[in-house]
Amino acid sequence: MDYIYLNDMAFYGYHGALPEENVLGQMFRITVTLATDLKQAGETDDLKATVNYAEVYELCKEVAEGKPFQLIESVAETIASRILETYSPLVKGCKVLVVKPTPPIRGHYDSVAVEIARGTL
């Protein structure tokens, strides 16, 4: 299996369980890993034989900056589902990491995050 990575994409969204998160919004950082076969793309140098990274970025942006979710788990699940629906059978599986750098939690920490894996990795 080969992999495509879209690392540390930054989006401004309104996800969160607290009302102020849905009003004020905050940054979210998303990393996506796509499991696929890149042999044909590598041999032919043809974009049609691989996944267009710009399209995946736009899909992630649409979810992250779109309809607010209470949970970042839902953000990750929606992105994974849409990627698999859009790029099947080329993409066999995906992993989605959603990082919330500044959640309204008292204490000292770098961030909170969820990571899900769907399909064959």
Predicted confidence band at 94 (pLDDT cuts at 50, 70, 90)?
very high
Give the pLDDT mean for 31-50. Answer: 97
pTM: 0.96
Q: Is the pLDDT of residue 26 over 90?
A: yes
Q: Residue 57: what pLDDT?
A: 98
Work out the percent of the chain whose per-residue pLDDT is above 90.
93
In this prediction, residue 108 carries a pLDDT of 87
Q: Which residues are CB-neighbours of 115 under 8 A, at least 6 positions away?
A: 76, 95, 96, 97, 98
Domains in the chain, CATH or no CATH each: 2-119 (3.30.1130.10)
Q: What is the mean pLDDT of residues 49-73?
A: 98
Q: What percent of the chain has pLDDT over 70?
A: 100
User: What is the rounded CA–CA span in Å between residue 7 and residue 34?
Assistant: 11
Return mean pLDDT, the chain.
Answer: 97
* pLDDT over 90 (residue 105): no
As a residue count, the chain comes to: 121
**Which residues are catalytic, by number?**
100
